[in-house]
Chains A and B, each alone.
Chain A
Amino acid sequence: MKRTKPAKKVPSLWSSVDWLTIFIYLVLLALGWMSVCGACYDYDQAGSILDFSTRSGMQIVWIASSMLLAFLILMIDDRLFESLSYIIYICFLALLFVTPFLAHDIKGSLSWIKVGSFSIQPAEFAKFGVSLCLAKVMSIYGFDIRKWRDFIICVALIAIPMGLIIMQKETGTALVYSALFLMLYREGMPGCLLFTAIAAVVYFVVGVRFADEPLWGIKEMSLGQGVVMLLILIFTIGLFLVYKPQSSSQKGRNLSLPLWAGLALSLAAILFARFVYPFNAVWVIIVVCGASVIYLLYLSLRYRALSYFLIALFTLGSVGFHYSANFVLNNVMEPHQQKRIRVLLGLEDDPRGAGYNVIQAKIAIGSGGLEGKGFLNGTQTKLKYVPEQDTDFIFCTVGEEEGFIGCAVVLLLFLSLILRLMHLAERQPYTFGRVYGYCVLSIFIFHIFINVGMVLGLTPVIGIPLPFFSYGGSSLWGFTILLFIFLRIDAGRSRRQR
C-alpha cells in the first residue's frame, strides 16, 4: 500500500497544484532579479551581472535554491505539515529565543545567525511556523474564536514570537505578525475589534502627521485635528448603522438622524470658517462629538441596548486617544523617540538626515516617468542615493528603471497573487488549509502595503522586505516556503475531500 501510493499521487499532484500561482511566483522572481541587478550594478566593476561575487549573481543562487526548495516542498506529503506544526512552532520559538545570543550585531539588529559563510534570519522563516501552528489550533474541533479563551490562545500564539523578535531589535519584522489579525478577522474575530485597532492607527498617523498643517487654508484649524475629528463622527455614524439593535420598539424611527445633523453642523462650521470668518471649527466638532455621546448614552438607557453604550464608548475613546496621543508624543516621549516617530511619519524634512531615505526614494521613483530609464540605466539607485536600494527600497529600482508601467505590472501581479491565494484559501475543504492560506495572504498584504507604501512616502518607514524582490536568501526562502507549503496543502485538498 505504502509503496504504491506515491506512484499514484505524483500525477495527481502535478494536475492539482495551482499553476497560476506558480506562474505569478516565477514572473515575480524574474522581475525581482532584474531589480536586484539594477540596484547592485556598480559602475566601478561593470562586469557581468551574473558574476557570483556580485549581489545580482548571488541572487541567482538564492533564486535557484528557492525553486529547488519549492520543488522539495511539493514532494512532501501535505499531512506532514499539519502533524508537525506544533513541533515546528516550538522549534522556532526556541530558535528565536536563542538568536539574540548567537547573533552578530548588524546595524543594531540581533536577528542574523551565521551559518557557514551565510547569515540567516530566523525571524523570516518563523512566519510559516506560526502560521502552521495557528492553522492547527484553529482547526481543532470545537474551536471558536468568539470564545474569549480561544481568542486569547490565538493572540498569544502570535504575540510570543512577536515579543521574541522585538527582543532581536527587529521591530519591523515583528510588526508583520500583526497582519495575522486579518486572518483572525476572516475566521470570526469581531470586526469591530479590527476596526477599532485600525481606527487607532489612522487617528495616530493622521493626527500627528498633519498636526501643524492648516486645514483647507484656514490658519486657525489643524488639518490633522480636523480630519481626525470628522473621521470620528463618520466612524460613529457607520458603527451606529451597522450595529443598531434589531429591536421592535425602534421601528419606524430614524434614530441616526441627530448624528447626521451633527456631521452636517460640523461641515457647515468648516465652510463658515473657510468662507465667512476664520475660526477653529474643531471646537464645534468636539461639541458635536460630546452631544453625540450624550445622545448615544440616552439611547442605550432608553432602549436598554448595550451596543449604543459601546458606540458611545468608541466615540469618547477615539477623542480621548487622539488628544492623548498628541500629548504623549509632545510631552512624555524623549526627544529622540519623538524624532523617530516624526521621521516615520515623514514630518522631518531633512535630506541626509533621517528622512533622507524617503526623499531619495521619491526622487528615484519620480524620475522614472512612464517607461522608466531602462534596465541597468537607473542613476539614483546605482549611485547609492537611495539607501538599502537592493533590500528594503528595492521598489525604487523598479520605479526608476521600469517606470510607471513596470510598477503597475508589479503591483497588479502582487494583487493577483493575493486574490488568487484568497480564492485558493476559500476553496479549502478544511479549516486548517483555509487558515494557513489566510495567514500567507495576510503576510503578503502587510509586506506589500508597508514596503511599497514607505517607498512612496505614504506609510511609516518600517524595514521589511518586498517579497521576491528584495535581495537576500532568508527572505526569499522564507516567502517561498510560506507560499509553497500552502500550494502543497491546496494540491492535496481533493484527497482530503474524499
Chain B
Amino acid sequence: MDGKQEAKDAKKASYELEKRKYVIGGTATLIIIVYLLRLFTLQLLSEDFKISADSNAFLKRIQYPARGAISDRNGKLLVYNQPAYDVMVIMTEQIGVDTLDLCESLGITRDWYERRMEEIKDSRRNPGYSRHTQQLFMNQLSTEEFSRFQEKLFRFPGFYIQKRSIRQYNYPNAAQLLGDIGEVGPEDIEADSYYRSGDYIGKLGVERSYETVLRGEKGMEILLRDARGRLKGRYQNGKFDVAPVPGRNLKMSIDIELQALGERLMKGKLGSIVAIEPSTGEVLCMVSSPTYDPRIMIGRQRGKSQKLLAQNPLKPLLNRAIMGQYPPGSTFKTGQALTFLQEGIITPSTAFSCNHGFHYKGLKVGCHGHGSPLPLVPAIATSCNGYFCWGLYHMFSNRKKYKTVQDAMTVWKDYMVSMGFGYKLGIDLPGEKRGMIPNASTYDKAYRGSWSGLTVISISIGQGEVNLTPLQIANLGATIANRGYYITPHVVKEVQGMPLDTLYTKKHWTRVGREHYETVVAGMRQAVLGGTCRIANTSDYEVCGKTGTAQNPHGQDHSVFMGFAPRENPKIAICVYVENGTWGATYGVPIGALMMEQYINGKLSEASEAKAAGFEMKSLYKTDNSENEKN
C-alpha cells in the first residue's frame, strides 16, 4: 500500500516537474524574441551604424581632375598645370602628433600651427568641416618642400599629402583676362556643393567665367581601410569609384602677341585697348593698364600679391576695358550720324555751319578751325562739334516727327541701345559694367520736366551723361566695320568638345540701314586720309578711324581712338582709350595704328618698332613701387 502510494506520488511529482519544461522553453523563446527585437532596432531602425561603418571602412579619396589648359587664338599655350602638394589633416587621427617636429618639418611656427588648427575647426569659416574627413592644413608645397616632408610623413599620423595642380603661365600678359585660381571661400562652398574646403576655384577672368568648364568633375576612389588604418585596396575592385573628368581646354580669341604689344604700348598709362574681329565678335586683345604679371598669383604668394594689388591706388585688378566707364567723346559722333541719317534728320549732303563751334541762344559748344558750312563726311573727318550739335538739336526739336522732346529722346535712346550701349554686352568675363545712356526720365528727374535738345546737347558729342566702356566703343567700331551688326564680343573662341554659347554666334542688327553705314565709313576713311587720324594712314591697307578727345573735368582730357581696318572685309576693329592722354591724335591714334599693323601684318616694321619703343617710355603717371611688381 505504502509503495503504491509512493509510486503515485512520484508519478504526480514527475508530472509536476514535467511542466517545468514550459518554463525553460519559454525562457529560451523569450531570449530569442528579445534578441530579434534588439536586432530589429539595430539593423532596421537606425542609420547611425551604417554611417559609422562607412566612415570606419571607407577612405574616400578625391581624385582631382586636371584643369583645362588655356591657349591663344593661334594655339600658343598660355596657361597650364603644374604639380603642387597640399598637406591635409584628419582631426580624429592626428592625436598624439609631435607638433614641434611637424612645425619644423613644414617650416612653420607653433603659433601658425595652432591658429590654423583653430581655423580648420571653426565651422563658420570652414563650413564643410568634419572630424573624419581630410581638411586642408597647408597648401601648395613646392616639390622640394614636399620631398622633405614626405620623408617624415610616417611620423605624423592623420596627416596626408594630396597632389594638386596649380596654374602656370607662359606669358607675363593678359593677367586680368586670364584671371587666376585660389582657394574657395565659404560663400563658394555655400553656393555650390561641388566644392570642399581647400578646393580651388577661378577667381577672376576666364578662370572664373569658365570655371565649370575648366574644372572638370572630381572623381572619387573608395579605398578600404582596416582597423589599423592600413589601406586594403579598392572597395569592390573600384566598382563604385568615379573617375575624374578632366576639365575642357579653352582656346581664347586673344592673339597673345597683339596683347603683349598692347600692354607694352600702354605701359605707364592708364586706360585700355580692346580689339575685336568684327566678323566674329572675337576679342583679339583686351589690355587694361596698369596690369601685372599673372605669375605673381601662383601658389602661396597669391594672398600677398592679391593684397598689394588691391591696395594699389591705380587699381591694377580693375579690368578697365569692361569695368571702366568713360565719356566716349567724338567717337560717339559716328553713332549720332547713323541715327540722324536713319531718322531722316540729315542726308549725307546736309550741311551745317560751324564757326568755331555751335552757337545758339547763348549756348556755345566750341570747335576747332575748319571750313564751314560742311556736309557729313568732312564733319566726321574733322570731328566737327557744331555739326552734331545741330543734328541733335534738329532731331530733338522736330515736333513734326516727335510729339515731345521725351519721345525724341526715347527714339534716340533706342538707337543707342541697338548699337550695344547702355547695357552690358554680355562678354564672357566677370564684372562687365553697362555704361550709361540717359533716357527721357533721367532728364525729367534732373530738370523737373523742363528741358530741350539744347539742354542735353553735349550727349551728341559723347559728353555729358553718356558713358561707355572701351569694349562698347570697340564694339561700335566693329558694328561700323560690319555695316550694321555686331556679334557679342567674347574672349573664348573654342571650348574643347562643346559648342560656343549661341549668344556668341548671333548677329545683333542695329536700327540703322547699311547704306548709312557706308556714309559713316567714308567719313572715317576721310579722317584717316585727311582728318584727325592722319597718323594712322598707311599704304598697306585702308584704315578707317575716328578720334575722340573726351573732356575730363578732373584733369587732362582723355585720348580716344576708334577704328577698323581694312575698309573692306575688316579684320580688326579697335578702341584705344588713354586716360589723360589729351588729344585723340596724341596717344589713341598712333597706338591704334601700331596695333592694327601688328595684327594685320603679323609684325611691326622697323620704323613702327621704334615708335612703339617710344610709347613704351612715355609715362602719364608717377610710377611707384607696386608697378615694379610686374618685372
B238 located at the interface, meaning its Cβ lies under 8 Å from any Cβ of chain A in the complex = no
**Which chain B residues lie closer than 8 Å to A379 at the CB level?**
53, 56-58, 224, 235
In the complex, which residue of chain A has the Cβ closest to the Cβ of B233? A43
A188 located at the interface, meaning its Cβ lies under 8 Å from any Cβ of chain B in the complex = yes
Q: Is A365 a contact partner of B32 (Cβ separation < 8 A)?
A: no
Interface members, chain B 30-45 (any A CB < 8 Å): 31-32, 34-36, 38-40, 42-44
Inter-chain CA distance A43–B226, complex, in Å, is 10
**Which chain B residues lie closer than 8 Å to A43 at the CB level?**
224, 232-233
B546 located at the interface, meaning its Cβ lies under 8 Å from any Cβ of chain A in the complex = no
Inter-chain CA distance A400–B42, complex, in Å, is 11
**Which chain A residues lie closer than 8 Å to B224 at the CB level?**
43, 379, 383
26 contacts between A and B (CB under 8 A): A182-B24, A185-B23, A186-B21, A191-B23, A363-B52, A365-B39, A366-B50, A366-B52, A367-B53, A368-B43, A377-B236, A379-B58, A384-B226, A385-B226, A385-B227, A399-B39, A400-B53, A415-B29, A422-B21, A422-B24, A426-B21, A438-B24, A441-B24, A442-B24, A456-B38, A456-B39
Q: 7 tightest A-B contacts by CB?
A: A366-B49, A367-B53, A379-B57, A43-B232, A383-B226, A404-B43, A366-B42
| Contact A185 to B40, CB < 8 A, known contacts A43-B232, A362-B49, A363-B53 | no
Q: Is B226 a contact partner of A411 (Cβ separation < 8 A)?
A: no
Query: Assuming A366-B48, A399-B43, A408-B39, what are 16 further A-B pairs, CB within 8 angstroms?
Result: A186-B20, A360-B227, A362-B49, A363-B49, A366-B42, A366-B43, A367-B50, A369-B44, A370-B43, A379-B56, A379-B58, A400-B53, A404-B40, A404-B43, A411-B32, A411-B35
> Smallest distance from the beta carbon of B153 to chain A beta carbons, Å?
22
Inter-chain CA distance A185–B34, complex, in Å, is 23
Inter-chain CA distance A366–B52, complex, in Å, is 9
| Contact A411 to B18, CB < 8 A, known contacts A363-B53, A365-B42, A422-B24 | no
Inter-chain CA distance A175–B34, complex, in Å, is 22
**Which chain B residues lie closer than 8 Å to A74 at the CB level?**
none
In the complex, which residue of chain B has the Cβ closest to the Cβ of A383? B226
Inter-chain CA distance A369–B48, complex, in Å, is 11
Q: Is A449 a contact partner of B56 (Cβ separation < 8 A)?
A: no
Inter-chain CA distance A43–B238, complex, in Å, is 13
> Smallest distance from the beta carbon of A157 to chain B beta carbons, Å?
20
Inter-chain CA distance A43–B57, complex, in Å, is 13
Dominant secondary structure at the A interface: helix
Most buried by A among B20, B25, B40, B42: B42
Q: Is A380 a contact partner of B43 (Cβ separation < 8 A)?
A: no
Q: Is B226 a contact partner of A370 (Cβ separation < 8 A)?
A: no
| Contact A458 to B35, CB < 8 A, known contacts A384-B226, A399-B43 | yes
In the complex, which residue of chain B has the Cβ closest to the Cβ of A365? B42
B46 located at the interface, meaning its Cβ lies under 8 Å from any Cβ of chain A in the complex = yes
Selected contact of B56 from candidates A380, A403, A452, CB within 8 Å = A380
| Contact A445 to B39, CB < 8 A, known contacts A369-B44, A369-B50 | no
**Which chain B residues lie closer than 8 Å to A449 at the CB level?**
31
**Which chain B residues lie closer than 8 Å to A383 at the CB level?**
56-57, 224-227, 232
Q: Is B31 a contact partner of A448 (Cβ separation < 8 A)?
A: yes
Q: Is B17 a contact partner of A187 (Cβ separation < 8 A)?
A: yes
Q: Is A370 a contact partner of B44 (Cβ separation < 8 A)?
A: yes
Interface members, chain A 348-369 (any B CB < 8 Å): 360, 362-369
Q: Is A385 a contact partner of B57 (Cβ separation < 8 A)?
A: yes
| Number of chain B residues whose Cβ lies closer than 8 Å to a Cβ of chain A | 41
Q: Is A412 a contact partner of B35 (Cβ separation < 8 A)?
A: no
| Contact A365 to B35, CB < 8 A, known contacts A186-B20, A380-B53, A383-B226 | no
Q: Is A367 a contact partner of B52 (Cβ separation < 8 A)?
A: yes
Inter-chain CA distance A31–B331, complex, in Å, is 89
A419 located at the interface, meaning its Cβ lies under 8 Å from any Cβ of chain B in the complex = yes
> Smallest distance from the beta carbon of B222 to chain A beta carbons, Å?
10
> Smallest distance from the beta carbon of A447 to chain B beta carbons, Å?
12
Q: Mark A99-116, 1 if CB is under 8 A from B, else 0.
A: 000000000000000000
Q: Mark B50-72, 1 if CB is under 8 A from A, else 0.
A: 10111011100000000000000
Binding site for A on B (CB under 8 A): 13, 17-18, 20-21, 23-25, 27-29, 31-32, 34-36, 38-40, 42-44, 46, 48-50, 52-54, 56-58, 224-228, 232-233, 235-236
In the complex, which residue of chain A has the Cβ closest to the Cβ of B34? A458
Inter-chain CA distance A148–B56, complex, in Å, is 56
In the complex, which residue of chain B has the Cβ closest to the Cβ of A400? B53
**Which chain B residues lie closer than 8 Å to A414 at the CB level?**
32
> Smallest distance from the beta carbon of A128 to chain B beta carbons, Å?
20
Selected contact of A419 from candidates B17, B23, B28, B227, CB within 8 Å = B28
Q: Is A365 a contact partner of B34 (Cβ separation < 8 A)?
A: no
Q: Is B43 a contact partner of A426 (Cβ separation < 8 A)?
A: no
**Which chain B residues lie closer than 8 Å to A334 at the CB level?**
none
A407 located at the interface, meaning its Cβ lies under 8 Å from any Cβ of chain B in the complex = yes
Most buried by B among A383, A411, A438, A452: A383
**Which chain B residues lie closer than 8 Å to A364 at the CB level?**
53
In the complex, which residue of chain B has the Cβ closest to the Cβ of A416? B32
| Contact A419 to B52, CB < 8 A, known contacts A379-B224, A399-B39 | no
**Which chain A residues lie closer than 8 Å to B32 at the CB level?**
411-412, 414-415
| Contact A426 to B58, CB < 8 A, known contacts A365-B43, A384-B226, A407-B43 | no
Q: Is A186 a contact partner of B53 (Cβ separation < 8 A)?
A: no
> Smallest distance from the beta carbon of A451 to chain B beta carbons, Å?
11
**Which chain B residues lie closer than 8 Å to A384 at the CB level?**
226-228
Q: Is A404 a contact partner of B44 (Cβ separation < 8 A)?
A: yes
In the complex, which residue of chain B has the Cβ closest to the Cβ of A449? B31
Inter-chain CA distance A380–B236, complex, in Å, is 14
In the complex, which residue of chain A has the Cβ closest to the Cβ of B40? A404
Q: Is B49 a contact partner of A365 (Cβ separation < 8 A)?
A: yes
**Which chain A residues lie closer than 8 Å to B27 at the CB level?**
445
Q: Mark A397-429, 1 if CB is under 8 A from B, else 0.
A: 001100110011001101100110010001000
Most buried by B among A182, A362, A363, A452: A363
Inter-chain CA distance A43–B225, complex, in Å, is 10
Q: Mark A233-262, 1 if CB is under 8 A from B, else 0.
A: 000000000000000000000000000000
**Which chain A residues lie closer than 8 Å to B48 at the CB level?**
366
A453 located at the interface, meaning its Cβ lies under 8 Å from any Cβ of chain B in the complex = yes
Inter-chain CA distance A108–B442, complex, in Å, is 93
In the complex, which residue of chain A has the Cβ closest to the Cβ of B14? A188
Q: Is B39 a contact partner of A380 (Cβ separation < 8 A)?
A: no
Q: Is A186 a contact partner of B17 (Cβ separation < 8 A)?
A: yes
Inter-chain CA distance A355–B224, complex, in Å, is 24
**Which chain B residues lie closer than 8 Å to A400 at the CB level?**
53
Q: Is B232 a contact partner of A44 (Cβ separation < 8 A)?
A: yes
Q: Is B21 a contact partner of A385 (Cβ separation < 8 A)?
A: no
In the complex, which residue of chain A has the Cβ closest to the Cβ of B13? A188
**Which chain B residues lie closer than 8 Å to A377 at the CB level?**
236
**Which chain B residues lie closer than 8 Å to A368 at the CB level?**
43
Q: Is B36 a contact partner of A411 (Cβ separation < 8 A)?
A: yes
Inter-chain CA distance A368–B13, complex, in Å, is 49
Inter-chain CA distance A44–B232, complex, in Å, is 7
Q: Is B39 a contact partner of A404 (Cβ separation < 8 A)?
A: yes
**Which chain A residues lie closer than 8 Å to B20 at the CB level?**
185-186, 191
In the complex, which residue of chain B has the Cβ closest to the Cβ of A188? B17
**Which chain B residues lie closer than 8 Å to A366 at the CB level?**
42-43, 46, 48-50, 52-53
Inter-chain CA distance A289–B54, complex, in Å, is 50
Q: Is B49 a contact partner of A186 (Cβ separation < 8 A)?
A: no
Selected contact of B31 from candidates A191, A362, A445, CB within 8 Å = A445
> Smallest distance from the beta carbon of B60 to chain A beta carbons, Å?
13
Inter-chain CA distance A497–B245, complex, in Å, is 80
Inter-chain CA distance A385–B54, complex, in Å, is 12
